[in-house]
Structure 1
Amino acid sequence: MPARSYDTLQGTLERITYVNEENHYVVARLQVSGRRDLATIVGNLPTVTPGETLKLTGEWIQHNRYGEQFKVEAFETISPATLTGIEKYLGSGLIKGIGPIFAKRLVEVFGIDTLRIIEEEPSRLLTVDGIGEVRLQRIRTAWEEQKEIREVMIFLQGHGVSSAYAAKIFKTYGKSSIAIVQENPYRLAKDIYGIGFKTADRIAQAIGIEKHSPLRVEAGVIYVLNELAGEGHVYYPIGDLTKASAGILEVDEDLVTQAVERLRHEEQVICLPVRDRTQMDEPEPQGVAAYLASLYAAEEGVARRLQALAEGGELPADIDIERAILWAEQTNRLHLAEQQKEAIREALIRKLLVITGGPGTGKTTILRCILQILDKKHRRMLLCSPTGRAAKRMSEATGREAKTIHRLLEFSPKDGRFKR
């Protein structure tokens, strides 16, 4: 696929018409040499201020409502070079302690050297009427903060990070952004929503991290396990994981094996022997599997909770179960398989039962028979599913109302807990 080509645009920022403080998305107007009308620019532009000269990289788009706009992918700030630009820049509220009035006074005293004086000889500001030690300290502090933000943005964009991601990175790490990205850019995938392994890997390559770096291989293994989890795999056999990771990362399998061992030692990955569930009488493990630590904790927690519920004893056997099963078969004009009958028996006496199986194995038939038997005995029943879609399918299959778990247990978003 050919590389995407972008346009460049340079001009003076006239005014900002909208800014989202959360993600620094900005809509602004730019005075561009040679254009009669102001250009509308949109994009993630943290720290930009009216009066600045901006060099923008992006593309022209046509908005249905607002017309032609320049969508910014990256930007560079060029210090204002005119007295009007400097005055507008300082008077914008960017620097605490300097408003429009003091901006005008500073430009009148120092002229085109105003920004250099603030940067290199700030004590000279005391010669300006109305600026004392307290205001001077506020100005110096605000100037340093803005400088840090600019340095971070310039560094990140210089290494191929879009302005949108750069804004997220600075919001997360602040003035430590450069040090963290240089030390381990793969932290971004873990710490910042929206930045995945592939984006972090591009940044890592841009700052010179080797393809075979242990940091990269470890992050790659975590990425592969997350991708597999998205496909429904809580764990994955070590051998298959090693091959998959080596292929995606384009490194030797030995490096992946070493990375998995380090991740295991750091308890980011849990490795356990597994047995073939279809051969439960086989005493020997069938191999070793790797879990993401979070998924292992989740699976183990669910298993412990289910076990505790299942050990609550049996329900009173006031139903002639065999007769009830025969009645269900006759009512539905079907012949139940022995495993289906066993599931119905267990469901009628256990406080908790898990019935599992692939499509077409008879789960819905079992559920319908259990409900019919309990209904015949005038038992109160409630049906629920994890999602609204699943609840709808359950209702269609049983002819009874089914709710989501959250609705059944009356989850309160305000309190963050279930009322039942």
Structure 2
Amino acid sequence: MRTTQRASIRGVVDTVFYSGPTFSAGRLLCADGSAVKFAGKVFVRENDAVRLEGRWVDHPKYGRQFEAEFMGHDLEMDPDGLANFLANHPDVKGIGPVKARLIADEFGRGFDAAIRSRPEAVASVAKVPVETALELQRVWVANSDFNAAMAYLSAFGLTHHQVTTLVDKFGSQVVPMLESDPYVLMREITGFGFKRVDKIARKLGTPKDLPSRIRAGIHYCVLAALDDGDCWVEYEDLLDRANTLLVMDTLDSREVIERHLEAMTAEGVLVSQPFERLVVADPEIQRTETELAAFLKMAHQPGPHPVGDVEGLLNAEGAELNPEQREAVKNALAHSISLMTGGAGSGKTYAVSTITSIAERLELRVVLAAPTGKAAKRLEQVVGHEAGT
């Protein structure tokens, strides 16, 4: 049974049953001495002082426990809690139980202000080098930054691991940065596409005409077309797609989108080419196509392994080839690059099988590859030769 009412619990992680980047289970020792079992999409370590938010559940196997949805580091501690945090936190180095108690007794609930503004005073009380106090300051501030980020990012449904990734990269600037441009998540977190981020950003009051939103929407339309098999998108069609996606509620929305599209192509974020019509693509697509075109230009060059008596080999290994298949095999044996096309059932695989047989007869090494594991398996079964992806 799972209660619908949200709850929050605080304490120190006493035992960890399992801990990974996206899920942890353990036991929390609360300030009143009670022990609470918890599990959820958080990452914890033993002796972490944490605040868990979630719901109480009756697990069919583990009984009553707390289902944690979000986690913050509990920095609102009394002197005893602070001493425990300093002495046991795995990232705090050079502060044992005795020094931790000296700091807790001296600063108590004023420790946050002291470590941020007067780390040398903390070092003096604990009788440790200033460098140790500065490292302690870094750990303390990082935990504070994480709390602020977790509170803000809870609306986005990010995991503990994802929040940690953002905090590690952007530090104390992560929340103000995302407040001004939540679409940064699309670049930094795998799996966060435009529609997912936009839905939450709009709930948080992000204006529809935010430049980063418009640019993210345009780029999303280009990548969506790529998923549909279109490497390039017609310029006018892209404007229509973006206009439909962004729903900007202004009469000049298409013109606004076009100005951003022009800026993106000028900056190299996107590329455009005047083929039969003006088309737009992601730069990586253009780079890949350019490399492929240069590679295919070498197709007329003779193969690195000249093959003599091709007709005799074809008669021996491919007697059942039709004229088109026979010509395809000849091309493959004669040139450094050969492209074979044909519909399903046209005999492409049988032609490849013949090429493989001839190569093996000539004691040449053959490597077969296909774009998917399933296709490679099928190729391997038909040809009778190992294939990979």
TM range (shorter): 0.7 to 0.9
The DSSP-based 3-state class of the residue aligned with 1:215 is helix
1:319 to 304, 310, 314: 310
Deviation at 1:296, TM superposition (A): 1.6
Determine the C-alpha separation between the residues in 2 that align with 1:243 and 1:5.
Answer: 43
Q: Are positions 1:234 and 2:228 aligned together?
A: no
Q: Are positions 1:260 and 2:261 aligned together?
A: yes
Q: Deviations over 1:173-225 (max 9, x none)?
A: 33442354345432332233343334443564466432222211221222233
CA contact (8 A) 1:44 1:167 kept: no
| TM-score normalized by the length of structure 2 | 0.76
Identity of aligned residues (%): 19
Given residue 270 of structure 2, which amino acid in structure 1 is its aligned partner?
A: V
Q: Which residue of 2 aligns with 1:209?
A: 206
Aligned pairs, number: 377
Q: Which residue of 2 aligns with 1:292?
A: 282
Q: Which residue of 1 aligns with 2:6?
A: 7
The Cα RMSD (Å) is 4.2
Structure 1's 365 and 35: CA in aligned 2 closer, same or farther, altered over 3 A?
same
Q: Are positions 1:392 and 2:377 aligned together?
A: yes
Determine the C-alpha separation between the residues in 2 that align with 1:61 and 1:240.
Answer: 53
Aligned runs of 1:4-83 on 2, under 5 Å? 7-15=6-14, 17=16, 23=21, 26-31=24-29, 37-45=35-43, 50-51=48-49, 54-57=51-54, 60=57, 62=59, 69-83=65-79
* Structure 1 unaligned spans of 5+: 275-284, 406-420
Determine the C-alpha separation between the residues in 2 that align with 1:110 and 1:180.
Answer: 32
Deviation at 1:170, TM superposition (A): 1.2
Given residue 282 of structure 2, which amino acid in structure 1 is its aligned partner?
A: L
Deviation at 1:61, TM superposition (A): 7.5
Q: Are positions 1:221 and 2:211 aligned together?
A: no
CA contact (8 A) 2:86 2:95 kept: yes
CA contact (8 A) 2:36 2:66 kept: no
CA contact (8 A) 2:298 2:336 kept: no
Given residue 30 of structure 1, which amino acid in structure 2 is its aligned partner?
A: L
Q: Are positions 1:404 and 2:381 aligned together?
A: no
Determine the C-alpha separation between the residues in 2 that align with 1:47 and 1:151.
Answer: 18
Deviation at 1:100, TM superposition (A): 1.4
Q: Which residue of 2 aligns with 1:193?
A: 190
Q: Are positions 1:302 and 2:287 aligned together?
A: no
CA contact (8 A) 2:6 2:55 kept: yes
2:136 to 138, 142, 147: 142
The DSSP-based 3-state class of the residue aligned with 2:129 is helix
Q: Deviations over 1:372-396 (max 9, x none)?
A: 7x47986756250135432321233
Given residue 187 of structure 1, which amino acid in structure 2 is its aligned partner?
A: V
Determine the C-alpha separation between the residues in 2 that align with 1:55 and 1:188.
Answer: 24
Structure 1's 11 and 261: CA in aligned 2 closer, same or farther, altered over 3 A?
same
The DSSP-based 3-state class of the residue aligned with 2:273 is strand
Deviation at 1:297, TM superposition (A): 0.8
Deviation at 1:361, TM superposition (A): 4.1
CA contact (8 A) 1:149 1:175 kept: no
Q: Which residue of 2 aligns with 1:249?
A: 246
Q: Deviations over 1:297-321 (max 9, x none)?
A: 1121122122225334795674349
CA contact (8 A) 1:237 1:290 kept: yes
Q: Are positions 1:153 and 2:143 aligned together?
A: no
Determine the C-alpha separation between the residues in 2 that align with 1:84 and 1:126.
Answer: 19
| TM-score normalized by the length of structure 1 | 0.71
Structure 1's 19 and 84: CA in aligned 2 closer, same or farther, altered over 3 A?
farther
